[in-house]
Amino acid sequence: MSQHLLLPFVILAISPIPGALHDSALSPTQEEPEDLDCGRPEPSTRIMGGSEAQPGSWPWQVSLHQRGGHICGGSLIAPSWVLSAAHCFVTNGTLEPATEWSVLLGVHSQDGPLDSAHARAVAAILVPDNYSSVELGADLALLRLASPARLGPAVRPICLPRASHRFAHGTACWATGWGDIQEADPLPLPWALQEVELRLLGEAACQCLYSRPGPFNLTFQLLPGMLCAGYPEGRRDTCQGDSGGPLVCEEGGQWFQAGITSFGFGCGRRNRPGVFTAVAPYEAWIREQVMGSEPGPAFPTQSWEPQPSPWEPTDENCTIALPECGKAPRPGTWPWEARVMVPGSRPCHGALVSESWVLAPASCFLDPINSDLPRDLDNWRVLLPSRPRAELVARFMPHENASWDDTSDLALLQLQTPVNLSTALRPVCLPHPEHYFLPRSRCRLARWGRGEPEPGPSTLLEAELLGGWWCHCLYGRQGESVPPPGDPPHALCPAYQEEEEAGRCWNYSHWSLLCQEEGTWFLAGISDFSSGCLRPRAFYPLQTHGPWISHVTRGAYLEDQLTWDWGPEGEETETQACPPHTEHGACGLRPEPAVMGILWPWLAEVHVAGNQVCTGILVAPGWVVAATHCVLRPGFTTVPYIEVYLGRAGASPLPQGHQVTSAPPLLCQTEGGSWVLMGMAVRGSQELFAAIGPEEAWIAQTVGEAHFLPPNGYPHWPPEGSDLCPADLARASGSPQAALLLLLLLLPLIQG
């Protein structure tokens, strides 16, 4: 099994907006009034989860350009001074030269002509001596402009708070910037300034949210000089490219800069609010740097005493946000189940992924011959649980690779009107790309695409997730081409809880795989039709499509992993010494040539209650191993009458009326040529085996003389990244509980 490697999320900002204009005329110095008026936008008129700002509504917002592109935000605090974040200018501990930077003032859209905008060269960049990295605080910088900004309606400074200034917890403030609109999703053209309302979070609340286990192997300590703003439920946040920009709060008609966008863990994630450099504690440092510069920044006194807001949760009653998606009161009744009705064809099953988007296979709607987009959207209807009427469809967005790549057979349908969510109607959770579904996770099959109605009892739809290597080696050998585990995974394999009835065909073979974490269901994978009659062996993981889904839907939320306890690293294989020769002869060796047509001298026919036959394996002179389910039938309270025949398995026909229970053992040949019993088939499966290894102690104790394989003879796990399956592991076990029974053979039977 591959242990998933989660690298700490890269949190620092630097995504140039290509081709953005810079360095227009550097305008001459202007006379400025003595006491600088600050924090007052001209009366008139993303950041993630925000919206486009009114041009001119944040006149202190500046864009910092390097090599022709936007890198960071900043705020004008005086005609010659811009406040920003240190991490924008420090690379590997070295401060970048000021000459590489320019400041764009009075700009709204970075695409069009910069009418009211003008640019300034940077004369100096000042960073606190104690700045080393964002997590350690002091993430602020001052930029001295080569010539003062020309103030006007679109260019004005923001007010700075004094050290004594207090911003009440829960205050609604605003962050602005040209940063990504969600993780890995840059602001689209025309690169217009975005704004988002964020609430100030108290230290205790912020630390409490961050203490919830989550992505990025997080041990985050909120330090003095930092502040948090955002929401426990996430969704609205600053993101990459917003760094250095201001977080401003209004007080009595005047705007103060409370924070500088510094960092965060991802963007808009639940329980991961944005972290800002608090400006007030740096009053002295700022004053020191700008000393002698006239006019300097304005630090108006706070006009009122803020009341502590009851909004702030304390350490004791700190409430983290729980996911809103993926709750199903009764598994099997899925509150996100959507049926898309297109005239002239059977309903197509999909899943509700947000208030207004349904995900479904694109193949339901795309004509394979001419891959034209469907035109008759007006006649499409979507049926959702607990909705009295069908929904109308406004847009159909197939995945760009949908027609030729099975793994991308996906389309998003936008509902004309968003639906009101309830316990009976809610979206399924979608995994982030780095999501790691633990092997042994509880999963279910749910309908996907077009197909027959329910195929049988719901237990047939239950499954447990297999580890990545098992998936690759087990099913890869069956011509299903399951790639080795990767990060993100290339396939997700379920092990089913119940057998498939022999001969029965599941016409409905297109499924989605829902996997549960802490009671919350994630849409983990989708299958194609290649599995034919069987339930799918491997699912295409959905997580790779998370960014496409959130890009198209602008807001379908990717839910963080809920289970972070991954147990011990890696998986170990135990081995034990076993001499190939014992006083009783050799174990695991076949006579050459085959004696009397018997290929497998250790095979035993186990006859149960006179009419049932299953396979046993002779492991020692007086002992045969058989699968428990083969010998003990459900409902039996006593061990039935059992006979064992040796030395004839497969050689002579079975008496009439005998029923053969399939419980094949898994034998693997070592390099030394010995055959080793690796597993016994799990109830109902021809492909899943209960591993013998974990039962070794029990077998050794019971049997005494069973022979275990020497370490060097053991089939080994291939190193991570290699494409080799263990030799002869054509059929092997997932992790189902071992189901073995040792039969004590009576000597006369053996001799007979």
Instruction: Determine the interface stretch with ligand 4AZ among 7-15, 108-116, 150-158, 744-752 (rule: CB under 6 A).
Output: 7-15
CA dist list (Å): 85 to 89, 98, 475, 566: 8, 14, 51, 36
Helices (H), 300-370: none
Instruction: Determine the interface stretch with ligand 4AZ among 260-268, 524-532, 594-602, 720-728 (rule: CB under 6 A).
Output: 260-268
Q: Which two tokens stand for residue 545?
A: 């499509």
Smallest distance, Å, CB 274 to ligand 4AZ? Answer: 4
Smallest distance, Å, CB 167 to ligand 4AZ? Answer: 18
| Contact call for residue 63 and ligand 4AZ (CB under 6 A) | no
Residue with smaller CB distance to ligand 4AZ, 259 or 489: 259
| Contact call for residue 685 and ligand 4AZ (CB under 6 A) | no
Beta carbons within 10 angstroms of residue 306's beta carbon:
15
| Contact call for residue 500 and ligand 4AZ (CB under 6 A) | no
**Strand intervals (E) in 408-532:** 411-415, 430-431, 442-447, 462-465, 494-496, 511-517, 520-526
631: left (phi over 0), alpha (psi -120 to 50) or beta: alpha
Size of the site for ligand 4AZ (CB under 6 A): 14
Smallest distance, Å, CB 267 to ligand 4AZ? Answer: 4
Residue with smaller CB distance to ligand 4AZ, 79 or 264: 264
Catalytic site includes residue 139? yes
Q: Which two tokens stand for residue 175?
A: 């962050």
Q: Which residues of 408-427 are buried (b: 16+ CB within 10 A; e: fewer)?
A: bbbbbbbbeeebebeeebbb
Closest CA to 303 of 260, 255, 259: 255
CB 431 within 8 A of CB 524: yes
Coil, strand, or helix at residue 461? helix
Residue with smaller CB distance to ligand 4AZ, 239 or 630: 239
| Contact call for residue 11 and ligand 4AZ (CB under 6 A) | yes
Instruction: Determine the interface stretch with ligand 4AZ among 189-197, 231-239, 535-543, 664-672 (rule: CB under 6 A).
Output: 231-239
Residue with smaller CB distance to ligand 4AZ, 242 or 391: 242
**What's the CA gap between 622 and 742, in Å, rounded?**
10
Instruction: Determine the interface stretch with ligand 4AZ among 248-256, 258-266, 280-288, 561-569 (rule: CB under 6 A).
Output: 258-266
DSSP per-residue codes, 584-650 = TEESS---SSPBTTBS-TTEEEEEETTTEEEEEEEEETTEEEEEHHHHS-TT--S---EEEEES-TT
Select which of 63, 80, 109, 243 is catalytic: 243
Q: Are strands 612-620 and 659-660 parallel, antiparallel or unpaired?
A: parallel
Residue with smaller CB distance to ligand 4AZ, 27 or 207: 207
| Contact call for residue 239 and ligand 4AZ (CB under 6 A) | yes
**What's the CA gap between 556 and 611, in Å, rounded?**
57
Q: Which of 238, 356, 531, 543 binds ligand 4AZ (CB under 6 A)?
A: 238
DSSP H/E element including 65 = strand 61-66
CA 235 to chain centre: 16
**What's the CA gap between 126 and 85, in Å, rounded?**
10
Q: Which of 2, 61, 80, 261 binds ligand 4AZ (CB under 6 A)?
A: 261
| Contact call for residue 243 and ligand 4AZ (CB under 6 A) | yes
**What's the CA gap between 384 and 337, in Å, rounded?**
6
Catalytic site includes residue 487? no
Residue with smaller CB distance to ligand 4AZ, 78 or 90: 90
| Contact call for residue 242 and ligand 4AZ (CB under 6 A) | yes
| Contact call for residue 84 and ligand 4AZ (CB under 6 A) | no
| Contact call for residue 434 and ligand 4AZ (CB under 6 A) | no
Q: Which of 274, 347, 588, 713 binds ligand 4AZ (CB under 6 A)?
A: 274
| Contact call for residue 12 and ligand 4AZ (CB under 6 A) | yes
Q: Which of 139, 195, 237, 251 binds ligand 4AZ (CB under 6 A)?
A: 237
| Contact call for residue 264 and ligand 4AZ (CB under 6 A) | yes
**What's the CA gap between 152 and 621, in Å, rounded?**
98
Smallest distance, Å, CB 8 to ligand 4AZ? Answer: 13
| Contact call for residue 227 and ligand 4AZ (CB under 6 A) | no
Residue with smaller CB distance to ligand 4AZ, 262 or 441: 262
CB 237 within 8 A of CB 50: no
Catalytic site includes residue 378? no
| Contact call for residue 13 and ligand 4AZ (CB under 6 A) | yes
Select which of 2, 84, 139, 237 is catalytic: 139
Per DSSP, the chain holds a count of helices (H) and strands (E) of: 7, 40
**What's the CA gap between 332 and 330, in Å, rounded?**
6
Beta carbons within 10 angstroms of residue 26's beta carbon:
13
Which residues are annotated as catalytic? 87, 139, 243
Which positions lie near ligand 4AZ, rule CB under 6 A?
Answer: 11-13, 237-240, 242-243, 261, 263-264, 267, 274
